[in-house]
Structure 1
């Protein structure tokens, strides 16, 4: 389930870079809040405290209620970095299971 959430969030964050209606950006921020909160809960259930903290920070960063003004360029960089990190984390877990 966490792989699916990570893929969906990564795709949404990459789509965030395109010119979209304002409502789409609000939807992505809300979906990111929910997705990262679920990932934080799952990390806590698996006793992965560092992952849990990272996901909580990301949930708070992307939440749509109190906007954090970082500027469009910084947000774009952040979206790409977080999207790539989500995809990389999927493959890192797959590699660990094989070893």
Structure 2
């Protein structure tokens, strides 16, 4: 389940680079908050404290209730960094499983 969530979130973050309606960005914020909260819970179950901290911080950053106004350019940079980070974490977890 973690793999699917990471892939979907990464795709959503990369799609945010395209000019989309405002409702799409709201959907991404809700999906990111829920996805990162689940990933934090899952990381906590596997006692990965560093990952728990990262996912909780990302859930807070993307939460839709109290918006953090960073501007479109900075949000695009954040989206790319987080999207790449999610994809890299997939490869890291794949190497750890071997």
Same fold at TM > 0.5: yes
TM-score, structure 2 normalization: 0.98
TM-score, structure 1 normalization: 0.97
Q: What's the RMSD between the two structures over aligned residues?
A: 0.6
Q: What is the CA distance between 1:44 and its match in structure 2?
A: 0.5
Instruction: Note the 1:63-82 alignment, pairs <5 A.
Output: 63-82=63-82
Q: d(CA) in 2 for partners of 1:83 and 1:92?
A: 14
Q: d(CA) in 2 for partners of 1:67 and 1:97?
A: 37
Q: d(CA) in 2 for partners of 1:87 and 1:68?
A: 24
Instruction: Note the 1:8-19 alignment, pairs <5 A.
Output: 8-19=8-19
After TM superposition, the runs of 4+ consecutive aligned structure 1 residues lying more than 6 A away are none
Alignment: residue pair count: 98
Runs of 5+ consecutive residues of structure 1 not aligned to the other structure: none
Q: d(CA) in 1 for partners of 2:97 and 2:5?
A: 19
